[in-house]
Amino acid sequence: MAEFLQARDERKILHVDLDAFYAQVEMRDNPALKTVPLIIGRDPDQHHGHGVVATANYLARQAGVHSAMGSIEAKRACPNAVFVAPDFDKYRQISAQIHAIFAEFTDVMEPVALDEAYLDVTANPLAATTLAAKLRHRIWQETKLTCSVGVSYNKVLAKLGSEHHKPNGVTVITPAVALDFVAALPIKEFRGVGKKAQEKFEKLGIQTGADLRAMSQDDLRVHFGSFGDQLYWQARATHFGQVKDHRVRQSLGKESTFEFPLHNREQVLATFKDLATKVVANMEKKHLVGRTLNIKVRDDDYQTQTRAVTQSVPFNLDPDFLARKAQSIFDDLYPDDFAIRLLGITFSNVSPQAFQPLSLFDFEND
Ligand SMILES: [Mg+2]
C-alpha cells in the first residue's frame, strides 16, 4: 500500500534553509567574524548575565554552542566566542530578498521562518534538481549567502533532505531511495518525535526507521494514539501534507461609501474607526499582520486618491491607533473643506503573525 501511494506521489517539493542564517549574515557583513566562534545574542558580561543564543556559526557549534542556550552557558562552553546582538531589521530585509527569489521558481511556497521555506515546484517544467541548483545559485548571486536544499516528493522528506548535508548542501530523496533513506534514520529524526516519544521508543527497543516500519499500525496507535498513524506513514516515506501558501495576494481591507457626502472630520474619524475595527478583526481571525497601511478616499467629483504608509515592522493592530493614522493622512489630503463619497482602509505587505521574530527570544531554526 505504502509503495503504491509513494509511486503515485509525483510532486516536486524543495525545502530551502539558509545555513546558520543570522550568523552567516553577520560574517558576510564583517568578514573578520568568519575566523572566530560567533554567537548571535547579547554578551552576558555586558547585560548582567542575561541573554540567550539566537544562533551561532559553525566554529562556535563545534565548541558545543547551540540555539536557545543561555549566553552564560555558551560563554562557558566557548570562552573566546564573539557575541553580536541580532539585527532583525536586517534579517527581515534579506528574508524579503530571498522570498522574492523563491517566487521566481514557484507560486506555491510556505515560509516557515525568515530563512526557511517549502516550495512546491511541481508546475515548473524543469527537473527538481535543476531547480535546486538554480535556486542556490540565485540566492548566492543576490545575497552572497549559502543555503541547504532538500529535494523530494513530499514535505517531510524534503525537510529531512535539507538537514542531511548542512551547510551548503543538496540532498535528493527520490522515490527509489526514500524507503532506504527513512529506514536508516535514527528515531529522533522523525517529525514530531520529542524527548517523551524518544524515551518510549527506547523502552520498546526501536532505534531506527527500519525498526519503526516493523511496528504494526495498531501497535503504534496503542503507544502513541493518533500520532502513531503519522509515524506509520513517515516510516513508509509517505506524507500527504500540502505546501500551504501563506502569502496573501489580495490585501485585506474594508470600504464604506456614502450616499450623502461626508463634510466633517468627526464623521470621517468615526468611519475610519469603524473600518479599522473590522479590518483588525479580520486580520486577527486570520492571524495576520501587515506592514503597509493603505488609505483610499473618493470625493464628490469621483476623484479617488490613495496613500500608503509602510513600516519596517508590522502595524500594531489597534483600531484607535489605525483610525488616527488614517485620519492624519486624510487631513493632509484635505486640509480644507471636503465632500467625501468613499473611505477605505487596507493592509498590504501582509504576513502570518508567527513569521515575525521580533525579540531576542526568537531562535533560528538553523
Ligand atoms: Mg536556517
Q: List the single range of 203-212, 304-313, 356-365 with lowest mean pLDDT.
A: 356-365
Q: How far does residue 24's CA lie from ligand 1's centre (Å)?
A: 10
Look at residue 196 in the predicted model and tell me its pLDDT.
92
Look at residue 10 in the predicted model and tell me its pLDDT.
84
Phi, psi (deg, nearest 5) at residue 16: -115, 135
244 within some domain: no
Q: How far does residue 159's CA lie from ligand 1's centre (Å)?
A: 11
Residue 362, pLDDT above cutoff 80: no
Look at residue 357 in the predicted model and tell me its pLDDT.
45
Pick from 152, 177, 202: which residue ends a domain? Answer: 177
pLDDT digits (tens, 9 = 90+) for 93-112: 899 889 888 888 887 889 88
User: Do both 164 and 208 map to the same domain?
Assistant: no
246 within some domain: no
- Give 231's pLDDT tier (boundaries 50, 70, 90): very high
Q: Is 142 in a helix, a strand, or coil? A: helix
Q: List the single range of 248-252, 293-297, 353-357 with lowest mean pLDDT.
A: 353-357
Look at residue 4 in the predicted model and tell me its pLDDT.
45
CA distances from 350 to 46, 92, 240, 301 (A): 36, 13, 27, 32
Pick from 129, 145, 177: which residue ends a domain? Answer: 177
- Give 249's pLDDT tier (boundaries 50, 70, 90): low
Look at residue 336 in the predicted model and tell me its pLDDT.
92
241 within some domain: no
- What is the secondary structure of 297-316 as a DSSP string? EEETT--EEEEEEE-SSPPP
User: Do both 223 and 169 map to the same domain?
Assistant: no
SS3 content of the chain, % helix, strand, coil (to 5): 45, 20, 35
Q: Residue 32: how many CB atoms within 10 A of its CB?
A: 9
Residue 17 marked in a binding site: yes
Residue 248, pLDDT above cutoff 70: no
Q: List the single range of 79-88, 162-171, 250-259, 267-276 with lowest mean pLDDT.
A: 250-259
Look at residue 117 in the predicted model and tell me its pLDDT.
95
Contact 189, 168 (CB under 8 A): no
Domains identified in the chain, total number: 4
Q: How far does residue 53's CA lie from ligand 1's centre (Å)?
A: 14
Q: What percentage of the chain carries pLDDT values higher than 90?
A: 67
How large is the average pLDDT for residues 262-285? Answer: 94
Comparing C-alpha atoms, which of 333, 364, 299 is closest to residue 17?
A: 364
Look at residue 118 in the predicted model and tell me its pLDDT.
96
Look at residue 8 in the predicted model and tell me its pLDDT.
65
Number of continuous H segments (helices) and E segments (strands) in the chain = 14, 12
pLDDT digits (tens, 9 = 90+) for 149-160: 999 999 999 999
Domain that holds residue 192: 181-234
Q: How far does residue 168's CA lie from ligand 1's centre (Å)?
A: 11
Look at residue 247 in the predicted model and tell me its pLDDT.
58
How large is the average pLDDT for residues 107-127? Answer: 90
DSSP 190: S
User: Do both 130 and 8 map to the same domain?
Assistant: yes
CA distance 22 to 13: 25
Residue 92, pLDDT above cutoff 70: yes
Q: How far does residue 167's CA lie from ligand 1's centre (Å)?
A: 9
Q: List the single range of 53-67, 91-105, 267-281 with lowest mean pLDDT.
A: 91-105
∠ at Cα 106 (129, 167), nearest 5°?
Answer: 45
Q: How far does residue 333's CA lie from ligand 1's centre (Å)?
A: 45
CATH number of the domain that 163 lies in?
3.30.70.270
Comparing C-alpha atoms, which of 108, 103, 117, 101 is closest to residue 159?
A: 117
How large is the average pLDDT for residues 31-59? Answer: 92
User: Do both 292 and 328 map to the same domain?
Assistant: yes
How large is the average pLDDT for residues 224-253? Answer: 83
Residue 61, pLDDT above cutoff 80: yes
Q: What percentage of the chain carries pLDDT values higher than 70?
A: 93
Residue 299, pLDDT above cutoff 80: yes
239 within some domain: no
Look at residue 69 in the predicted model and tell me its pLDDT.
93
CATH number of the domain that 315 lies in?
3.30.1490.100
Look up cell 518525535; give the residue. 193
- Give 182's pLDDT tier (boundaries 50, 70, 90): very high
Look at residue 185 in the predicted model and tell me its pLDDT.
95
pTM of the model: 0.67
Q: How far does residue 176's CA lie from ligand 1's centre (Å)?
A: 28
12 within some domain: yes
> Per the residue annotation, which of 10, 104, 110, 116 is the catalytic one?
116
Query: Active site includes 116?
Result: yes
CA distance 222 to 158: 29
User: Do both 61 and 100 map to the same domain?
Assistant: no
CATH number of the domain that 216 lies in?
1.10.150.20
DSSP 44: G
